[in-house]
Amino acid sequence: MQLTVNGTPREIDAPGDTPLLWVLRDDLGLTGTKYGCGLAQCGACSVLVDGQVMRSCVTPVEMLEGAEITTIEAIESDPVGARVVEKWVEHQVPQCGYCQSGQVVAATALLKEIPEPTEEDIRATMVNLCRCGTYNYIRAAMTDLAGREGETL
């Protein structure tokens, strides 16, 4: 089957029920998307499918024929994604960094949908887990991205 990943059509010969996560990581060598739980609990595997955030660890690849998939590797080619990365760096968000691919993708999806999200929008959609506890920094970066005055931590 064919997948469109980061703008490039890719021929995939993995079994159709393989989760997108493992096709990205093992077939395409795109290891920026992370495995954390395999149960759509943590969000480390988040990617964009047609601009919507999706947890790739529970998404069979056969459902995605014809869809446009964007992974963290291409996030800076998207103008919204590039802004998110810029603010992630400015606010020094990552610690271990393992969850941050998913956090950046989730933030990008939110801002593409709602350019100026409210605090409630952010609270409702930025739900990925971070064991290092970077949540205050994610919030500061998101407040900045939403165009509001906030604290630099």
Partner 1 sequence: MTGHPAALCAAELASGRPLNLSRRGFLRGALGAGAGTLILGVGLPAGPARAQAAAAAPGTNVPAFLEIRPDGTVRLLSPFVEGGQGIFTGMAQIVGEELDADPAVFTVENAPAGADYLVIGGQMRITGGSMSVRLSYPVMRRLGALARAMLIEAAAAELGVPARELSTEPGRVVHAASGRDLGYGALAGAAFDLAVPDPDSVTLKDPSAFRWIGREQPRLDVHDKSTGRAEYAIDIRVEGMLQAAVSHAPRLGLTVGTIRNREEVAALPGVAAVEVLDGAVAVLAERWWTAKRAVEALEVDWVPFDTLPEGWREMPADFSSADFAAALAASEADETEAEAEGDAPGVLAGAETVISATYHSQYLNHAQLEPPSAVARFNGDGTLDLWLPNQAPEQYQSTVAGLTGLDPAQVRIHSPMLGGFFGRHFLYPAASPYPQAIELARRAGRPVKMIWTREQEFLRDPLRPMAAVRFRGALDGDGLPLAIEAVSATEGPTEAINGRGDQVDPTALEGLTGKAYAIPTRRMAQAYVRNPAMLAYWRSVGNSMNDFFYECFLDEMAAAGGQDPFELRRHLLRDDARLSALLEAVADLSGGWKRGPYDAPDGTRRARGIGMASPFGSEAAAIAEVSIAAGRVVVHDVWEVLDPGQAVNPALVRQQVRGAAALGLSQVLMEESVWQDGAPVARNYDMYRILPPGDMPPVHVGILESGAQIGGVGEPPLPAVPPAVANAVAALTGQPVRRMPLSRMSFES
Binding site for partner 1 (CB under 8 A): 14-15, 18-19, 22, 25-27, 29-39, 41-42, 44, 71-73, 75-76, 84-85, 88-89, 92-101, 104, 123, 126-139, 153
| Cα 104 to Cα 15: distance, rounded to the nearest angstrom | 29
The residue assigned the tokens 């997948």 is: 3
Amino acid at 24: L
How many C-beta neighbours within 10 Å does residue 9 have? 8
| Cα 84 to Cα 46: distance, rounded to the nearest angstrom | 15
Q: Which is nearer to partner 1, 98 or 112 (CB)?
A: 98
Q: Which is nearer to partner 1, 2 or 136 (CB)?
A: 136
Q: Which is nearer to partner 1, 54 or 99 (CB)?
A: 99
How far apart are CB 131 and partner 1 at their closest, in Å? 5
Q: Which is nearer to partner 1, 68 or 86 (CB)?
A: 86
**Nearest residue to 116 via CA among 137, 147, 87, 90:** 147
How far apart are CB 69 and partner 1 at their closest, in Å? 14
Tokens of 83: 């802004």
* Cα 38 from chain centroid (whole Å): 15
